Amino acid sequence: MKFPSKETVQRLREQYPKGTRIEIVSMDDPYVIMPPGLRGSVDFVDDTGSLLTTWDNGSHLAVIYGVDQVKIVTDEKEHGQPAPAATVKRPAPSKPPKSPNRGR
């Protein structure tokens, strides 16, 4: 992989300042499934041009320059609040059955 120039990294930092909302178009990672349409907020751009991002699903996977594709979300700025994110509810933990009194 060829690293971007200092000028390209600087341009990316200007284009994606902290807090910029982005949406995944495609991610090439065989180990983690990040679905297209997932949104997140950019934390910072590192020296390799990767966008270190906090995703709405709780992940902190970086967007790799030249490999992954994202787009800036503009509709959240226009409406003044983020679009609702899908939530996954965990089932309530079940209580273990009461054990019989063992001679106490």
CATH number for the domain including 26?
2.30.30.30
Residue 19 is assigned to a structural domain of this protein: yes
pLDDT, position 87:
32
Residue 104 is assigned to a structural domain of this protein: no
Three-class SS state of 14: helix
Residue 99 is assigned to a structural domain of this protein: no
47, 9 contact by CB (below 8 A): yes
Residue 69 is assigned to a structural domain of this protein: yes
Q: Model pTM?
A: 0.69
Domains identified in the chain, total number: 1
Q: pLDDT band at 76, cuts 50/70/90?
A: low
Residue 98 is assigned to a structural domain of this protein: no
Domain span at 55: 6-76
| Token code pair at residue 92 | 């309530």
Residue 31 is assigned to a structural domain of this protein: yes
**10-66 pLDDT, tens per residue?**
999 999 999 999 999 999 888 888 999 999 999 999 999 999 999 999 999 999 999
pLDDT, position 56:
96
Residue 85 is assigned to a structural domain of this protein: no
Angle made by CA atoms 4, 42, 81, in degrees to the nearest 5: 145
100, 52 contact by CB (below 8 A): no
How many whole angstroms separate alpha carbon 12 and alpha carbon 6? 10
